[in-house]
Amino acid sequence: MRLLLAVLAAACLVASAPAAVERGTIVVNRGAVGVTLGLTRAAVVAKLGRPLYQNANGYLQYAKVNLFDVYLDVRTKRVRLIGVSGHRFCTTSGVCMQSRGGIGKLKAQYGKALRLVKAEDGERQYVLLGRLGGRRVFTSFSPAAKGQIIQIFIGYCPALPATCGA
């Protein structure tokens, strides 16, 4: 009987443990690791498990070593932005983050649709615009040394777009 109770207790601890996402597939202008823009918080938790950390501003952290963050709209509790960084994350076309020449591969794949923009703080990003569910979306790729991609953000364009253009 004690053994059965110990096994059940261990199973409950495993089932309630927070999830860590350290690798996965990025779908440009849609989402990553099965989480898409517009998904509800409940659907994200059903897909990935409980976040490692969360706050009242709609931030859900899912990675310990890398970066896999989900940002919710606090009013609707739906995904509005996804942030990703780590060498085990790759796009559906095989462009992997933190791999030499990633930016070059993106340029070859998307051509002039991939635009270089300069943020207000002077940081450069490559941005690809698109549409998802009738809304304008973007994927931004932050470059690093040797043409690597250090960080990717996928999100809805803001009402007064800065990186989304006219």
pLDDT at 7: 45
pLDDT at 165: 63
pLDDT at 6: 47
Please give the average per-residue pLDDT across 154-159, as a whole number.
89
CB–CB of 142/149 below 8 Å?
Answer: yes
Res 142 pLDDT > 90: yes
pLDDT at 4: 40
Report the distance separating Cα 52 and Cα 71, nearest Å. Answer: 14
More confident residue, 163 or 90: 90
- Over residues 66-119, the pLDDT tens digits come to 999 999 999 999 999 999 999 999 999 999 999 999 999 999 999 999 999 988
pLDDT at 158: 84
Q: How confident is the model at residue 121 (pLDDT cuts 50, 70, 90)?
A: confident
pLDDT at 159: 67
Res 146 pLDDT > 50: yes
**Where are the extended beta strands (E) located within 66-163?**
67-73, 78-85, 89-91, 114-118, 124-132, 135-143, 149-156
Q: Which two tokens stand for residue 98?
A: 């933190």
- Over residues 20-62, the pLDDT tens digits come to 899 999 999 999 999 999 999 999 999 999 999 999 999 999 9
Report the candidate in 98, 135, 128 with the shortest Cα–Cα distance to residue 28: 128
Res 164 pLDDT > 60: yes
Considering only CA atoms, give the Rg of the chain.
18
Helix (H) or strand (E) holding 54: strand 53-54
